[in-house]
Amino acid sequence: MRIIETIAEMRKLRRQSGLVCLVPTMGSLHQGHRRLIEAAAERGGLTVVSIFVNPLQFGLGEDYDLYPRDLAQDVAASRAAGADVVFAPAVSEIYPPGSEATRIELGPITQVLCGRTRPIHFSGVATVVAKLFHIVEPNFAFFGAKDAQQVAVIRRMVRDLNFDVDLVRVPTVREANGLACSSRNRYLTDQERERAGALRRALTAAQGLYARGERRQAALIAQVSAILKTADITPEYVEVRSWDGLTSLGDTLDESPALLALAAWMGKARLIDNVLLGADREEQAAVRDQSGEGPVARGQSVQRRG
Ligand code: AMP
């Protein structure tokens, strides 16, 4: 496995390669990242894992300086999961002086849900992912379902700016109590980690209600809030939005795919999680993401370049 630190070297390798799969990460790799890398390696071709703690997506007072960094461990984890390349550029390589003012702005989709309290976050994410797409030119890029808004933002950017890349959305990997794996879980005490299992329980209870026919948003949200309350968790938000554009929906949901998402602070960690409403929606959404063109038959080839 190769470790590449410069854009020039990454581009050179890209030109010599056929199919390329990219897994963008900020390092501090855990089981969730591992699953993404395995999915990329299963797709075939050159599997590139980028490791870059992106300053543009951290707001003032957020944990940019504290964010865990351990390149040696991440290299070992990437290799074990099947990566061919770790692309780990320095901040000055990605953002040379004077370049920071150039940003990708996507409008309202970045200002709802997490964007309400993190107004610059998704512009920062979109900007670095656009740069990675230009540098690595992947055929497939892999993102985790845990970060549902991130997937929606990147999907929008890919469509609106005509990137020639297929997005693959990988289901969330969880700890034994249902808590979604996250680099930030290490900020939790043992007791907080245990209580945080309520996030998943609350979302799946609402998903169950939906499956039994409940379509009133208020009732679904009340179910989540009630379970969070039993664990003494006050959420930053619990919201239902359209799955694709994250637009607001009527008081009574129709049958189109919807996202039920939440964020909550537990001690020093801000945790997020979500479910898709409709038992079979998750699978449909995954298939749709891979094609970028609406529902397709399972197993249909989406191979393009390479
Ligand atoms: P991060 O390093 O936190 O920026 O995450 C890099 C990628 O890993 C993103 O696409 C995340 O959505 C994905 N990811 C993070 N946690 C998980 C998880 N628990 N399960 C699946 N994917 C995840």
Report the CATH number that the domain containing residue 142 is assigned in CATH.
Answer: 3.40.50.620
Residue given tokens 């770790």 in the structure block: 86
CATH code, domain with 231: 3.30.1300.10
Residues 92, 290: Cα–Cα separation, whole Å? 33
β-pair partners for 50: 24, 87
- Active site positions, annotated: 33
Residues 213, 133 within the same domain: no
Ligand 1 atom showing the smallest separation from residue 183 Cα: 3
Among 16-25, 259-268, 279-288, the minimum mean pLDDT is found in 279-288
Residues 80, 232: Cα–Cα separation, whole Å? 38
Ligand 1 pocket check for 26: Cβ under 6 Å: yes
Residues 80, 104 within the same domain: yes
pLDDT at 297 (0 to 100) = 27
Per-residue pLDDT reduced to its tens digit, 121-149? 999 999 999 999 999 999 999 999 999 99
Q: What is the mean predicted confidence (pLDDT) over 97-111?
A: 95
3-state secondary structure of 159: helix
Ligand 1 pocket check for 33: Cβ under 6 Å: yes
pLDDT at 280 (0 to 100) = 56
Q: What spacing in Å lies between the alpha carbon of 19 and ligand 1's midpoint?
A: 22
Residues 47, 85 within the same domain: yes
pLDDT band for 305, please (50, 70, 90 cuts).
Answer: very low
Identify the domain containing residue 71 by its residue range.
2-174+286-303
Three-class SS string for 91-136? Answer: HHHHCCCCCCCCCCCCHHHHCCHHHHCCCCHHHHHHHHHHHHHHHH
C-alpha torsion sign, points 144, 142, 268, 110:
negative
pLDDT band for 65, please (50, 70, 90 cuts).
Answer: very high
pLDDT at 302 (0 to 100) = 32
- Over pLDDT 90: what percentage of the chain? 89
Q: What is the mean predicted confidence (pLDDT) over 42-70?
A: 96
More confident residue, 292 or 181: 181
Q: What spacing in Å lies between the alpha carbon of 146 and ligand 1's midpoint?
A: 7
Q: What spacing in Å lies between the alpha carbon of 251 and ligand 1's midpoint?
A: 31
Ligand 1 atom showing the smallest separation from residue 26 Cα: 2
Q: What is the mean predicted confidence (pLDDT) over 51-71?
A: 96
Residues 277, 291 within the same domain: no
Ligand 1 pocket check for 109: Cβ under 6 Å: no
pLDDT at 236 (0 to 100) = 98
pLDDT band for 100, please (50, 70, 90 cuts).
Answer: confident
Ligand 1 atom showing the smallest separation from residue 29 Cα: 2
Residue 285 has pLDDT above 60, yes or no: no
CA nearest to 110, candidates 291, 245, 250, 280: 245
Ligand 1 pocket check for 183: Cβ under 6 Å: yes
CA-nearest residue for atom 7, ligand 1, is: 25
More confident residue, 301 or 274: 274
Ligand 1 atom showing the smallest separation from residue 173 Cα: 20
Residues 49, 85: Cα–Cα separation, whole Å? 6
Residues 45, 167 within the same domain: yes
Residues 189, 162 within the same domain: no
Q: What spacing in Å lies between the alpha carbon of 13 and ligand 1's midpoint?
A: 25
Mutate which of 28, 34, 35, 36 to test ligand 1's pocket (most atoms within 8 Å of Cβ)?
A: 36
Ligand 1 atom showing the smallest separation from residue 33 Cα: 8
Residues 170, 291 within the same domain: yes
State how many domains the chain has.
2
Residues 191, 164 within the same domain: no
Residues 163, 220 within the same domain: no
Please check whether residue 227 is in contact with residue 263, taking contact to mean a CB–CB distance below 8 angstroms. no
Q: What spacing in Å lies between the alpha carbon of 250 and ligand 1's midpoint?
A: 30
Residues 241, 295 within the same domain: no
Residues 31, 104 within the same domain: yes
Per-residue pLDDT reduced to its tens digit, 210-258? 999 999 999 999 999 999 999 999 999 999 999 989 999 999 999 889 9
**DSSP for 199-234, written as a single string:** HHHHHHHHHHHHHTT--BHHHHHHHHHHHHHHTT--
Q: What spacing in Å lies between the alpha carbon of 40 and ligand 1's midpoint?
A: 13
Ligand 1 pocket check for 276: Cβ under 6 Å: no
Residues 297, 193 within the same domain: no
